[in-house]
């Protein structure tokens, strides 16, 4: 659980490994004040290596969604056995969701290319045809415990766009430093430190 005194907010999550391939996650947010609010999100995920799926239900708007992902080619474990296999791997997936409160729904499809040699790099493209939204993201491991990412979002209907870049550096087993810049939110820096079973976060926000 995490407490944010300045926002009068408490967040928490419960994770249960139901089998070797499935996991249940329950997350909640409680906000105090003049307009108190309590929201929950329930997720059930199944991972079979070749394919994975996830069902989601959220109390906010009574949202119900389903996601799926299929991996083409051999997995990293299968490639390690044979010689001469290609290094890259392509995955394709999609999601559909429906909000009962607003009686509205949506869908999106995407593809991902991942290469783990010599350092991890990943290119992702996501398309939402109903909203006219396209997102391109590139993630690259710079060295051990350090990675960088860039994302470009474009909407074909409004012609609006946004660029965001970020860096994450794991100092040790218990501390992570993150920095992010975007057109709309400016520069944000965050330091996460773990002490026993507690996580302390300290950040800086510059617009």
3-state secondary structure 63-97: EEEEEEEEECCCCHHHHHHCCCCCCEEEEEEEEEE
With a cut of 50, list the residues of the chain below it in pLDDT: 80-85
Nearest to 160 by CA among 140, 138, 132, 139: 132
* CB under 8 A, 24+ apart: contacts of 112-116: 113/88, 113/89, 114/88, 114/89, 115/87, 115/88, 115/89, 116/76, 116/87
Q: What CA–CA distance (Å, rounded) separates 43 from 41? A: 7
Cβ atoms of 121 and 112 within 8 Å: the answer is no
- pLDDT for the residue numbered 154: 97
- pLDDT for the residue numbered 78: 52
- pLDDT for the residue numbered 79: 52
- pLDDT for the residue numbered 81: 40
- pLDDT for the residue numbered 36: 86
Distance of CA 144 to the CA centre of its chain: 21
- pLDDT for the residue numbered 144: 87
């Amino acid at each position: 659980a995490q407490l944010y005194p300045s926002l009068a907010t408490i967040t928490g999550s419960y994770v249960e490994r139901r089998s070797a391939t499935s996991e249940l996650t329950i997350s909640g947010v409680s906000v105090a004040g003049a307009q108190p609010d309590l929201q929950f999100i329930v997720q059930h995920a199944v991972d079979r290596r070749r394919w994975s799926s996830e069902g989601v239900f959220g109390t906010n708007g009574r949202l119900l969604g389903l996601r799926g992902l299929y991996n083409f080619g051999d997995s990293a474990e299968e490639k390690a056995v044979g010689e001469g296999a290609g290094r890259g791997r392509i995955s394709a997936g999609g999601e559909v969701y429906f909000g009962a409160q607003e009686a509205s729904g949506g869908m999106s499809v995407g593809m991902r290319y991942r290469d783990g040699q010599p350092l991890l790099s990943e290119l992702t493209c996501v398309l939402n045809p109903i909203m006219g939204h396209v997102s391109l993201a590139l993630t690259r491991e710079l060295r051990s415990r350090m990675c960088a990412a860039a994302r470009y979002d474009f909407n074909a209907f409004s012609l609006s766009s946004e660029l965001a870049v970020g860096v994450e550096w794991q100092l040790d087993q218990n501390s992570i430093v993150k920095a992010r810049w975007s057109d709309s939110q400016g520069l944000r820096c965050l330091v996460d430190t773990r002490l026993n079973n507690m996580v302390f976060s300290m950040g800086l926000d510059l617009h």
